Structure 1
């Protein structure tokens, strides 16, 4: 039972909440213990809220999940966890998130943190109930969710979040969301099975063009970021452009997984299992650490 409850929370998806660390990382303050601790608290507060939404999603979609080849094995869809237990866990995660934030943050910071968490929560509940059935709206909501993670990281540390970070986070999340939807389109065109409503409003030609355009914009935007006078001055190094190599390699690899291997259905699973992308990320982080901190 405990294992199934943990599966219901989808803790492996918490890796996406690592975006709250971006303001801290790019500011060069990663070694500031106070900032780091505040960001860790924000990470877990956001993760608990996200897990609450996963519980609600599995409860709301239980009938559809039972007809799905893979989702039918989820704790609630399989019957291993009752809806009542799912609702209880959902509420517990929200309470835990609020208590954690309330115990650490104070004043305006606490109100802003709770405001971001509430906005994210309401937006995603609406997404689960209705908005995910609207073409394009669904992927844009996912992208906004990642921007909220970044903004939360800025709020709890007091670090200014630049337009560069917001823009690149939004574009990258949009790219990953469209790549994920592409897998649903492939299944629909091969089997006629609608894994999501309105998937038939997409086709492979459209999806390929969209993710290619987004990948191009992301790369151009990132290069502009690394050579921006403002950023070079703030980072204190003219060599930021070197990190573009790892971003380009990672994007090309993800396009290969998406278009050739059709394995982009879960960005989290790709991140946790693809060694090439993991190597690109590690090399990117190490290069930034050297440039910023040494």
Structure 2
């Protein structure tokens, strides 16, 4: 049953459609400056706050347009029919209008407030995600790559906004780390579905659990290898620290990947933030790694 939109319900519906719970992923905009040891440089935090808001606006635009496009199909789904657009709280034309406006304004604002490279990346992100909504989510393997690239773009944009060169090790580790989590989540969904009909993702029934397991294992291996090569490369010896934090951080990183892989193997690896918050041991390991990595970057 479609409900009528109300003046008070419309703003709340638009916010819900923008998926506030997903905004936490955009904290990744600090990844590149943190990796380069420039997170607390002068004006960095202010600029990163702007980038966070702009990326959130761009992502919200995609969600709004996606829900407007899928409104009819969502009304026939037992869960998605409660989405504000499908439920009639947000009219389809309004969702398109607000989403389209955000999709244009976010890159324009990035060009004005940041630099042309940041604006270009935001434009590419919006275009890629809209292409995913329209057709790419129906293409085997490409759907995994698009979602992974979205995470990688989040991790890159902070560095681009601050003019920080992006290390090849940063790009490889981040890219394959994202692919590890994305494919582990898909694997978990496939395991939980157990071959039954009614998959919430268009291609989920097309992948075998064996293939998805291969992808997340391969991605985890490459991410760990790239991180270890970064930690052990020449010039990575600390200048003044009593302990080789850069090399020691490998241990915490590998243990974190192995711990996350436990949930992937069980088929219970959902949203990455949920996995970390649900498992206290993984959260502690992650904090230990962050501390070691921070000391390594500070000494490098």
Give TM-score, length-normalised by structure 1.
0.87
Question: In the alignment, which residue of structure 2 is the partner of 1:86?
Answer: 95
- Paired residue for 1:76? 85
Alignment of 1:41-52 (within 5 A): 41-52=50-61
Report how far residue 188 of structure 1 moved.
Answer: 4.2
Q: 1:33 to 1:69 in 2, by over 3 A?
A: farther
Relative distance call for 1:68 and 1:282 in structure 2 (3 A) is: farther
CA, structure 1 residues 224+82, in 2 after alignment: closer, same or farther (shift >3 Å)? same
Whole-Å separation in 1 of the counterparts to 2:53 and 2:230? 29
In structure 2, the partner of 1:172 is 177
Q: Are the aligned partners of 1:188 and 1:195 in contact in 2 as well (CA < 8 Å)?
A: no
1:140 aligns with 2:149: no
1:264–1:103 CA distance, 2 compared to 1 (3 A): same
Provide the residue aligned with 2:255 in structure 1.
Answer: 249
Q: CA deviation at 1:16?
A: 1.9
* Aligned twin of 1:240: 246
Shift of the 51–276 alpha-carbon distance from structure 1 to 2, 3 Å rule, reads farther
Deviates more, 1:111-120 or 1:87-96: 87-96
Tell me the CA shift for residue 223 of structure 1.
1.4
Query: CA offset at residue 103 of structure 1?
Result: 4.6
Tell me which residue corresponds to 2:191.
186
The Cα offsets for residues 201-246 of structure 1, whole Å up to 9 and x where unpaired, read as: 2111222222122222222221121111144479988421222233
| 1:178 Cα deviation from its structure 2 partner | 0.9
More deviation in 186-195 or 22-31?
Answer: 186-195
Deviation at 1:267, TM superposition (A): 2.5
* Aligned positions of 1:189-204 closer than 5 A: 189-204=194-209
What's the offset of the Cα at 1:265? Answer: 3.2
Write the distance in 2 (CA, Å) between the matches of 1:57 and 1:142: 15
Pairing of 1:206-217 with structure 2 (within 5 A): 206-217=211-222
Q: Number of paired residues?
A: 289
* Other-structure match for 1:113: 118
**Matched residues in 2 for 1:194 and 1:150: separation?**
30
Displacement of 1:9 in angstroms is 1.0
Contact 1:188 1:199 in 2 (8 A): no
Please list every run of 5 or more consecutive structure 1 residues that lacks an aligned counterpart in the other structure: none
Range moving further from structure 2, 120-129 or 206-215: 206-215
Pairwise CA distance, 1:102: 4.5
Q: How does 1:249-268 map to 2 (within 5 A)?
A: 249-260=255-266, 262-268=267-273
TM-score, reference length from structure 2: 0.86
2:41 is the counterpart of 1:35: no
CA distance in 2, matches of 1:274, 1:89: 37
Q: Which moved more, 1:154-163 or 1:278-287?
A: 278-287
CA-based RMSD of the aligned residues comes to: 2.5
Classify 1:277/1:75 alpha carbon distance in 2 versus 1 (closer, same or farther; 3 Å). Answer: farther
Gaps of 5+ in 2: 1-8
The residue that corresponds to 1:285 in the other structure is: 290
Q: In the TM superposition, what whole-angstrom CA distance separates every residue of 1:71-127 from its partner, at most 9, and x where no partner exists?
A: 33322233332212322331343355246425523xxxx221211111111111001
In 2 relative to 1, CA 178–276 (structure 1 residues): closer, same or farther, beyond 3 Å? same
Between stretches 132-141 and 231-240, larger displacement belongs to 231-240
Shift in Å, 1:69: 4.1
Aligned equivalent of 2:5: none
Whether the 8 Å CA contact 1:68–1:195 is kept in 2: the answer is no
SS at match of 1:33: coil
C-alpha contact (below 8 Å) 2:190/2:209 kept by paired residues: yes
In proportion to residue count, which structure has more helix?
Answer: 1
Farther-moved stretch of structure 1 (157-166 vs 84-93): 84-93
